[in-house]
Amino acid sequence: MRHSWGIAFDGDTKHLVYNTSDIGCPTKGASEVAPRRIHAPGWKDARLVPGTVVAMRGWGRPTPGIFLSHDVNTTIENVKVHYAEGMGLLAQLCENITLEKFGVCLKGDADPRYFTTQADATHFSGCKGKIVSCNGLYEGMMDDAINVHGTYLKVVKRVDDRTLVGRYMHGQSWGFEWGCPGDEVQFIRSNTMELVGKQNKITSIRPYDKEQTEGAREFLITFQEPVDQVINEQSGFGIENLTWTPEVLFSGNVIRNNRARGSLFSTPRKTIVENNLFDHTSGAAILLCGDCNGWFETGACRHVIIRKNRFVNALTNLFQFTNAVISIYPEIPDLKGQQQYFHGGPEGGIVIEDNEFETFDAPILYAKSVDGWSSAITPLS
């Protein structure tokens, strides 16, 4: 590991230092002049006052603390991950996961560590059924407490009217199964994030660039019905697997002193976020995203309830997708050209009610491309 970046923490509270985000920590010319005393000529930063603790880190995430794949009806209870060189828990292609009193956390106030994982505390990719995360403690992670999403495959070849080649695009999320015969799918135009054509079903799917699924990045997919003629490799389209999308209950958790954001939800099924404490989450406390251009993480949120949560000083540092304490921010390159809303809809929309916000001069809510939502915001004085 080569340390080149760091996170600045308050030595007493373990909050990330205000407005520092990722700081450069060049080691060239650095030398130890006494125990725990370093002369570092490249660290000229007025924000690093005496008492600041800089935790140096790399960017790699070679292994999670717990890895779940193709599991059914999994319960993890009273388990704590104190450090992982990656995610705390990573689950993909699983059905029904319950986390009860699960923790990605320090060992207590005397723990000499300041951060717990190199990325998300918990990350769910291409799962279905129901994800339940209740009464947990998520602190000091270098990314989000929870991220729930699927993955868009980019259409890279139209073989015939019923057959496409789809490709995993992001360099950190590929090499595993994407779908099965019988799965429901839909198609989206990347530039405007609008649905195109009708929902369809997979009749066959196999690796296209490899002999086996493991390590494959491209898949040859045949569909039950003809695919709309407009969908091709030139114009930018994504394929979303609707079958592998879960319901989510995220309740009674404490999320604090972490880098990036508090929680990310990108699923069309019912999502409830309630009775949580988001305390100094650095970026947005809750993000509803959707992106077929960069991370390629699906998808639109149709029914979300955010209620009875307490938010304390989010947005103390700015990272990607940190427009407000609650940020509804799909990536839409051509927003002016968009004719259909991305999030929300007749399934229930997005409801934000009975929450408490303790904040400085930071936006409470940012929403883009949402159909059918309501909010009842109660800021504390």
Share of the chain above pLDDT 90, in %: 83
pLDDT at 375 over 70: no
d(CA 253, CA 255): 6
pLDDT at 333 over 60: yes
Burial class (CB in 10 A: 0-12, 13-18, 19+), 296: buried
| Structural domains of the chain, with CATH | 5-57 (no CATH), 66-150+245-379 (2.160.20.10), 154-169+178-231 (no CATH)
- Stretch 351-372: mean pLDDT, rounded? 94
- Of 33-47, 70-84, 200-214, minimum mean pLDDT range: 33-47
- Rounded to two decimals, the pTM is 0.95
**CB < 8 Å & 24+ apart, contacts of 158-161:** 158/227, 158/231, 158/232, 158/233, 159/220, 161/226, 161/227, 161/229
pLDDT tier at 356, thresholds 50, 70, 90? very high
Q: What is the largest CA-CA distance in the chain?
A: 71
Are 234 and 257 spatial neighbours (Cβ–Cβ below 8 Å)?
no
pLDDT at 88 over 90: yes
Interstrand relation of 246-251 and 271-274 (parallel, antiparallel or unpaired) = parallel
Tokens of 38: 């370093």
Higher pLDDT, 47 or 247: 247
pLDDT at position 364, please?
96
d(CA 112, CA 104): 15
pLDDT at position 378, please?
57
pLDDT at 170 over 50: yes
Average pLDDT for the chain: 94
- Of 22-26, 301-305, 361-365, minimum mean pLDDT range: 22-26
pLDDT tier at 379, thresholds 50, 70, 90? low
pLDDT at position 374, please?
55
* Residues 334-348 pLDDT 10s: 999 999 999 998 878
SS3 90: strand
Are 116 and 84 spatial neighbours (Cβ–Cβ below 8 Å)?
yes
* Residues 261-311 pLDDT 10s: 999 999 999 999 999 999 999 999 999 999 999 999 998 999 999 999 999
